[in-house]
Homo-oligomer: A and B are copies of this chain.
Amino acid sequence: MYAVLAGGVGAARFLRGLTAAVDPSDVVAIVNVGDDLTLHGLRICPDLDSITYWLSGVVHPTQQWGRADETHTVATELRRYGHDGWFTLGDRDLATHLHRTERLREGGVLSQVTDEIRRAFGVGVRLVPATDDHLETRIHTVDGRDLHFQEYWVRERAAPDVARITFDGAAAAKPAPGVVEAILAAETVLVAPSNPAVSIDPILAVPGVREALHRTPAPVVGVSPIIGGRVVRGMAHRLLPALGVEVSAAGVAAHYGDLLDGWVLDTTDADQSAVVEAGGTRCVTTPTLMDDIEVAAALARTCLSLAAEVRT
């Protein structure tokens, strides 16, 4: 069984590759919920949804999140009431939010409801939210504002300079059922090439997760989200400096520190391997830009090979 710490699009593409390399039912993705928000009373889980849509093949092909053939009738109509609509709500996507919110109101917990939704989409990978409890990524800007991650990311397009990042509720949160169990029972733990600051760190902020990663007998192998010294997608370069993390493959590896047994870097970052290996983390380089599923599958296989090496 493979346990994967996962954020949004980068993780989704990586998981799609992994499921081309191994049996999807052997994969458990532990997914970030720090980006979740409530809009119009609806619980929205962007990372869980992106992964579900990618793995079921219904994701919007160029946008890379949300649904293909999406329409925005409800959102357009909501403008009538003065809602500014900074967060895109597609009609198909909205059905997911409506259903999830209804099930949570009925007393379901997020991990149960998530499992129902991924099954409704025919997703073989088991998706588990990092926690069923409240955990919210807050971005504290240099100019003194305290923003929900989505306000910072989507509404303000990551423009404000960031002073620090906090995970509200994390201290009191418990890992969702299956999270610690998957990490401890895994043959290999993988860290997807997601934004370290706001995709992986909120998972690690749940008490018990970091401990499980240290305790597990499985090797922990991560994939660098940096390619050629740059962020592939998203705006991690706006967030990493606030953590004192260098925007480089070695910088991110150092941020994860002794959690990692192995680190997969893009070929263009080969010069970073020496410093990471000097820190005791085995490295391998391979193409990591997952433009198609074959590259993603090859990347997954490389991760598993590195895990096997590290294990022996």
A residues touching B (Cβ–Cβ < 8 Å)?
A: 40-42, 71, 73-75, 77-78, 80-83, 91-92, 94-96, 98-99, 101-102, 105, 116-117, 120-121
A74 near B102 with CB under 8 A, answer: no
- Interface majority SS on A: helix, strand, loop or mixed? helix
Contacts of A82 in B (CB 8 A): 120
B101 near A74 with CB under 8 A, answer: no
28 cross-chain CB contacts under 8 A: A40-B102, A41-B98, A41-B105, A42-B98, A71-B73, A71-B91, A73-B73, A73-B91, A73-B95, A74-B74, A74-B92, A74-B94, A74-B98, A75-B95, A77-B91, A77-B92, A77-B94, A77-B96, A78-B95, A78-B99, A80-B95, A80-B120, A80-B121, A81-B95, A81-B99, A82-B120, A91-B91, A94-B94
Stoichiometry, copies per complex: 2
Contacts of A98 in B (CB 8 A): 40-42, 74, 78
Contacts known (A80-B95, A95-B80); A41 close to B74, Cβ less than 8 A: no
Contacts of A121 in B (CB 8 A): 80
Question: How far is B276's CA from A271's CA once the two chains are assembled, in angstroms?
Answer: 98
Contacts of A40 in B (CB 8 A): 98-99, 101-102
B74 near A91 with CB under 8 A, answer: yes
Smallest CB gap from A95: residue in B: B77
Question: Closest 3 interchain pairs by CB?
Answer: A77-B95, A73-B91, A81-B99
Sample of 18 more A-B contacts, CB < 8 Å, known A41-B98, A81-B95, A83-B99:
A40-B99, A40-B102, A41-B101, A42-B98, A71-B73, A71-B91, A73-B73, A73-B91, A74-B74, A74-B92, A74-B94, A77-B95, A77-B96, A78-B95, A78-B99, A80-B121, A81-B99, A81-B120
